[in-house]
Amino acid sequence: MDPRKIFDTIPEQFDQYRARYSTELFKDLIAYAEVGPGKDVLELGPGTGQATDPILATGCNYHAIELGEHLFEMMKRKYGAFPNFKIVNDDFITYDFGDEKFDMIYSAATIQWIPEEIAYSKCFELLKPGGTLAMMLMIGDYKTPNEALYQNIQKVYDAYFKPSQPYTHGKFGYLNAPAYGFTEVERRDFYGTRVFNTEDYLAYCGTHSDHISLEEPYRSLFFEGLRKAVEEGGGKVQYNDTYVLYLTKKAL
């Protein structure tokens, strides 16, 4: 399976448990890029809409491209009634946008799945002069709130986490945009907290790409190990989240 389509195997679980980023981040992004009616915006790989609602609600001309067929169908069900919503089920790498140009292109932890040279070069080509490229990701810290629980969870990972498709997409150069013609990249951080009970934590873990690909016998041993660690640690896992927003522009 194309590793970029791994999330397409769990659309309902992905929709329920993946984080929606932060209200403050979107307010900042919308103001920075001046997103609103009459502006053309493209979201790369929206999944099931984790970063869609605040942008769509501005009244902009929202466009999205989603590789996964099931994720695409869910996006249509959720947002298809909005007159300013448009989505295509295709591969950003090869899709021909024709004469379309955008005032903003944005990605919520999707652009890292595209080879850097292709991602930046194609985004640059598709942006209007002065347009914004926004790239966001989330860093979840569950060590600081409960280090003992964190250490016990790490023991489970050490013993049983043997994914058939290891995650290898964390090396995207978010600061490398100027090498492809963009202005200097600005990083802005925002913060939030999530608290999971045992069952929700297991379900959330099951939405990570390398966790989805776990095979037996490791899969059962891994998730049972997580369950035991969390229950013995009080039945709660807290994340202190950092929502990272990288902003850059195509010069006028």
What value does the mean pLDDT take over residues 93-113?
A: 97
CATH number at residue 32: 3.40.50.150
The answer to whether position 158 is within a domain reads: no
**239 or 4, which is more confident:** 239
pLDDT tens column, 127-181: 999 999 999 999 999 999 999 999 999 999 999 999 876 666 568 999 999 999 9
The answer to whether position 99 is within a domain reads: yes
Distance CA 76, CA 85 (A): 9
pLDDT tens column, 47-62: 999 999 999 999 999 9
Task: Look at residue 167 in the predicted model and tell me its pLDDT.
Answer: 60
Q: Model-level pTM?
A: 0.94
The answer to whether position 233 is within a domain reads: no
The answer to whether position 173 is within a domain reads: yes
What value does the mean pLDDT take over residues 207-212?
A: 91
The answer to whether position 110 is within a domain reads: yes
The answer to whether position 164 is within a domain reads: no
The answer to whether position 65 is within a domain reads: yes
Task: Look at residue 113 in the predicted model and tell me its pLDDT.
Answer: 93
Q: Check residue 56 and give left, alpha or beta (phi > 0: left; psi -120 to 50: alpha).
A: alpha
The answer to whether position 223 is within a domain reads: no
The total domain count for the chain is 1
Burial tier of 193 (Cβ tally within 10 Å: 0-12, 13-18, 19+): exposed
**Residue numbers of the domain that contains 76:** 3-142+169-194+240-249
Task: Look at residue 2 in the predicted model and tell me its pLDDT.
Answer: 72
